[in-house]
């Protein structure tokens, strides 16, 4: 893989992988509609409910991420969402977004806590071709569990409104703050012209329901079951694996918290999968 003009260019073998990508029927039947790619595990925050970050990891080298993007493309993936940790901590985030657009993913998005957004970065993301940013906001005022609240983020959201040329989805999260604060977050998001969404907080057990009894039940079901189902390394994945996993029943799926990649893929409702559509 070679770099040039701030972008990551393909070598011949990678191009042949793309040329050998599955046909449209196979893609529509089996390929992921949305893949989330972790580009850095480090985060600038420490939300008490989160198990998806650390304080020590370096950014994943852009060469490795480029190979993973090629692999996802060769498996017929339609959309890509860059995530972390906190992806704005990756120094080459705009280059990675540009790479996603060069590869022709139908949708290139990212997830952020919004804290590190500045007008210069928003403009760089515009130039790179970002199509969507999702920001989850836990409530209005900070507490012991979270700093990811409206009172800390209003200035950044204002900058997004002024400068972003991509879609901004603001999710009000139920679970870390008093429930009425999520309503205030959504109301603010609407006023700002963003797309409002509601999410349920999931904890280190992966899934939650609001009531205590339901939480107890959910503690028995753990999203890591899904992780073990998908424990194969991306770079070893084949189209046969896609087909096998497509038909693999995952008992946690029906109660998966909103916003997880599988749940956000609305089109999966159209692709009939035994056990999934009940
Ligand atoms: S901002 Fe996101 S990744 Fe960072 S600690 Fe909070 S929930 Fe986890």
Q: Which residues line ligand 1 (CB under 6 A)?
A: 43, 45-47, 50, 52-53, 84-86, 113, 148
How far is ligand 1, taken at its centre, from the CA of residue 146, in Å? 9
pLDDT category at 234 given cuts 50, 70, 90 is confident
In a domain, 277, yes or no: no
- For the chain, the first-to-last Cα distance in angstroms comes to 45
Domain count for the chain, please give it.
1
Is the pTM higher than 0.85? no
Quote the pLDDT of residue 26: 86
In a domain, 278, yes or no: no
Residue nearest to atom 3 of ligand 1 (CA): 85
Q: Which of 62, 80, 87, 166 is nearest to 123 (CA)?
A: 166
Positive or negative, the CA dihedral 150, 37, 89, 55 is positive
46 Cα nearest atom in ligand 1:
5
pLDDT value at 13 more than 50: yes
Spacing, Cα 270 to ligand 1 middle (Å): 32
Please give the number of the atom of ligand 1 that sits closest to the Cα of 115: 1
Residue 274 lies in a domain: no
Contacts of 157 (CB under 8 A, 6+ apart): 114, 135, 170, 188, 192, 194
* CATH number for the domain harbouring residue 250: 3.20.20.70
Distance CA 275, CA 215 (A): 23
* In contact, 252 and 206? CB cutoff 8 Å: yes
Q: Which residue reads 């022709």 in tokens?
A: 104
* Chain center to CA of 21: 23
* 14 or 182: which leads in pLDDT: 182
Q: What confidence tens digit (pLDDT) does each residue in 113-160 have?
A: 999 999 999 999 999 999 999 998 988 999 888 899 999 999 999 999
Helix, strand, or coil here: 7?
Answer: strand
The C-alpha atoms of residue 58 and residue 149 are separated, in whole angstroms, by 26
Q: Is residue 65 part of a domain?
A: yes
Taking the C-alpha atoms of residue 136 and residue 172, their distance in angstroms, rounded to an integer, is: 6
pLDDT at 223: 47
Plot region of 199 (φ>0 → left; ψ -120 to 50 → alpha; else → beta)? beta
- Domain span including residue 73: 2-269
Domain-located, residue 276:
no
- 84 CA closest ligand 1 atom index: 3
Give the burial string for 55-89 (b: 16+ CB within 10 Å, else e): eeeebbebeebbbbbbbbbbbbbbbbbbbbbbbbb
In a domain, 275, yes or no: no
């Amino acid at each position: 893989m070679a770099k040039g003009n701030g972008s990551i260019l393909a070598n011949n073998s990678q191009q042949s992988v793309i040329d050998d990508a599955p046909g449209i029927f196979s893609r529509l039947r089996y390929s992921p509609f949305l893949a989330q790619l972790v580009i850095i595990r480090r985060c600038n925050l420490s939300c008490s409910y989160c198990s998806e970050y650390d304080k020590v990891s370096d950014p994943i080298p852009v060469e490795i991420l480029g190979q993973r993007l090629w692999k996802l493309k060769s498996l017929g993936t339609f959309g890509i969402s860059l995530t972390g940790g906190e992806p704005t901590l990756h120094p080459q985030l705009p280059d990675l977004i540009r790479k996603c657009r060069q590869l022709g993913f139908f949708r290139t998005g990212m997830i952020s806590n919004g804290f590190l957004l500045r007008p210069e970065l928003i403009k760089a993301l515009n130039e790179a071709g970002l199509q969507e940013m999702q920001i989850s906001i836990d409530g209005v005022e900070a507490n012991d569990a979270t700093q990811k609240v409206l009172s800390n983020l209003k200035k950044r959201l204002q900058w997004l409104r002024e400068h972003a040329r991509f879609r901004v989805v603001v999710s009000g999260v139920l679970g870390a703050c008093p429930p009425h604060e999520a309503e205030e977050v959504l109301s603010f998001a609407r006023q700002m012209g963003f797309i409002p969404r509601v999410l349920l907080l999931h904890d280190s057990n992966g899934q939650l329901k609001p009531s205590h009894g339901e939480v107890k039940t959910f503690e028995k079901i753990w999203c890591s079951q899904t992780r073990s189902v998908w424990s194969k390394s991306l770079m070893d994945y084949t189209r046969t694996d896609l087909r096998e996993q497509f038909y693999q029943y995952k008992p946690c799926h029906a109660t998966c918290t909103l916003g997880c990649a599988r749940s956000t893929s609305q089109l999966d409702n159209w692709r009939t999968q035994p056990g999934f559509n009940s």
